[in-house]
Structure 1
Amino acid sequence: MSNYYLQEARAAVPGLAGIMAAHAAVQDELKRPHRADWQPHPEVMAQAKEALRFGTEVAPDLGARLLAAERGQAEMDARRGALRQFSEEFQYEWDQAEQGNADLMLSALKPYLAALLDETERALSLMGAARTAEAVIEGGPVALGAWADLLSTAANYTDLRSTQWAITRSAWTHYEPSRPFTNKDVGVHLGLCTIEALWNPNGNTPPPWPTEGHNPRAFPKSDREFLLWAVEHREHVWLPTVTECVEESHRFIEVTNRTPMALEPSVIRKQDNARNLQRANGGAGLPR
């Protein structure tokens, strides 16, 4: 996967650019055709055989040419073997650098989420009450321009979330070796914080955001609709580091397992207000 946000996340990891450049150089070298300055062994043999067929003497340098062919082939094989090993080692260093610095990479993406949320709020203010393409057209050129901006913002939001998802999934076992990464337990925490304040997964009601189908665990119907819903309702949309996501998913499981299904989300939200305030203040007082 390669996009602007992934490049920005990787730029936050010290030394990663050098590893990536070295890996790319090795790949280029492996793809480059090798021009041998020696005659291949089968070709030398074929020429000597044809010479004998027509009564010509065996070339006095046949042995030297065959040895040169064997030595040249061996050198080329050794060189390519070394390049393949370099490629594997640089790829390993690359993977380790990203997995070990996933929190750093994801932290670098947080300002981009904030900017996209601001863009969404600005577009909504210009669109007025219009929320469909038809209503936007009726709203005039200002609303139409804001709608176009919103579509662009939603596309960027999709790229950002895809990058976040890939980084988190790749590094998950590095941070949480005891529990696998699953959509059910983890995916929902990649976009919303303190989600149980909005929805109790042990109940029978669907989540409050627009979803596809009737699955109570369904993901948002589309990034555009989720952005509209989240910004309009001023929900705690976030982009957690892997450490934050692990912590939040553990807390989510603990809270929802001990929360009666009849407990109102507003009550749970009240319980989490102090925690949200601590997060806003940089995490002071949060358990480590």
Structure 2
Amino acid sequence: MRVRGYAPATPCWAEYAAADPAAAADFYAGLFGWAPGEVFTLDGRAVAGVVPGAPGRPGCWLGYLSAPSADDAVAAVVDAGGAVLAPPHDRGGRGRAALVADAEGAVFGIWQRGAFGGAEAANEPATMCWTEVVTWREDTAAAFYGKAFGWSERKSEIAEGVDHIEWCKDSRVVGGMSVMDERYPAGTPAHWRITFEVADCAAAIARCVELGGSVLAGPLDLPVGHYALLADPQGGSFGVIALSEAILETRL
């Protein structure tokens, strides 16, 4: 489905920072069928970007939140206890961006649209379908995102004994939060995780491994679908999910 725009304080875009952008482009083109370039496209629609990362550092996915004013959003981040890593700057006529971190150090971007509003495709395979902050301290994250963006928590169980926390903005679900525990290595930094929809989770896992990637967790059979956490050859982690029939039917 083609997306025309995004409400404020909503995940709208994802970029992959890679020490070797060309190799990253080959991997994700091979995995998702994206046309490679500075902006990955699917059937002519922008779905994600790739930018040069620091030499010698693992690749990473960076999610962006939409904002009517990048400068105002950055001020709100600082007021809520976050930090500015790259101040608001123009990206030609495409928009205005900033790079920030929340109160626990999870890095994300701010995007103020110009000619470009964000990902142009959603609700189909090979597109970003979910973003979540992964943190050690739920209370700190809730206080930060509540103050900076007006988000509130909604708690449930995604499966028996498996907590699920959604972020809501004006009654709309905009993302999620996953709280780290002993299953994560000590010292794992707080971070944002990007998940992409796929038609077949097992096939996506096999293709990832074939292209030189690895499986970090899963596959997991959840009520919402079959999920796995993967890593590309440069160390960037991301999720894939084949949504359940019940979820897909809600789109009809």
Give the number of the structure whose residues are more often helix, by fraction: 1
TM-score, normalising length: structure 1: 0.21
TM-score, normalising length: structure 2: 0.23
The structure that has the greater radius of gyration is 1
